[in-house]
Amino acid sequence: MANLLGATVLNLSDRMTSAAAGAAGVSLSGTAALVVLAEFSGLGGTELGRRIGLSQPACARMLDQLEGRGLVRRREKTGRAVAVELTREGRAAAGRALAARQEVLVRALGAVAEPAGLEPVLEQLLRGLHADVQHGDLMCRLCDRPGCVARRQTCPVGELEKGT
């Protein structure tokens, strides 16, 4: 069963990340940055890097590229941090990335006879992964956060982050 899970997760991850990055027209890290900034505008580069799994220097280089493409802008310094926000084009790219991600996942769920039965299993897996990673922002860097909470009060990973 572990091998089946590994093959499934790897294939879904490859398809999902390729579709999302392709739709956004930037690297996978750039796509994650756009998706995170769409939900949390004004993050500093260090915090954004933490949320998407990049060091501060790597995040600064990625932001230079995104800014050069007109997808983000840096605002004035507040203390030592520079706030980053999406441009209209960046917001559109984030939306395209999330739509492409959703399409891949919905198509995959279409192959399952009773997809609702997967929900409790997936939540258990998330709890186990969170126990190892303990970094919900990193786990959810490509999540459709509004879509996640549309059906429930809070995101399962968000519940874990709060300690409930």
Considering the domain boundaries, does residue 60 fall inside one? yes
Q: Looking at residue 43, what is its pLDDT?
A: 94
Considering the domain boundaries, does residue 2 fall inside one? no
- Residues contacting 44, CB < 8 A, separation 6+: 78, 81, 82, 83, 84
C-alpha span between 11 and 19 (Å, rounded): 12
Considering the domain boundaries, does residue 107 fall inside one? yes
pTM: 0.89
Task: Name beta bridge partners: 81.
Answer: 78
Per the structure, the complete domain to which residue 49 belongs is given by 13-162
Considering the domain boundaries, does residue 6 fall inside one? no
pLDDT of 164 > 50? The answer is no
Amino acid identity of residue 131, one-letter, is A
pLDDT of 130 > 90? The answer is no
Domain count, the chain: 1
Considering the domain boundaries, does residue 4 fall inside one? no
Considering the domain boundaries, does residue 5 fall inside one? no
The answer to whether the beta carbons of residues 71 and 25 sit under 8 Å apart is: no
- Residues contacting 106, CB < 8 A, separation 6+: none
Q: Looking at residue 152, what is its pLDDT?
A: 64
The answer to whether the beta carbons of residues 156 and 123 sit under 8 Å apart is: yes
C-alpha span between 43 and 79 (Å, rounded): 13
Cβ of 94: how many Cβ atoms within 10 Å? 24
C-alpha span between 45 and 75 (Å, rounded): 11
- CATH assignment of the domain containing 115: 1.10.10.10
42-80 pLDDT tens trace: 999 999 999 999 999 999 999 999 999 999 999 876 667
Which of 16-20, 103-107, 140-144 is predicted least confidently? 140-144
Confidence band, pLDDT 50/70/90 cuts, at residue 23: very high
Q: Looking at residue 100, what is its pLDDT?
A: 98
Question: Of the candidates 65, 21, 25, 28, which has an alpha carbon nearest to the alpha carbon of residue 45?
Answer: 65
Considering the domain boundaries, does residue 99 fall inside one? yes
Give the highest mean pLDDT range of 74-78, 116-120, 132-136, 159-163: 116-120
Considering the domain boundaries, does residue 106 fall inside one? yes
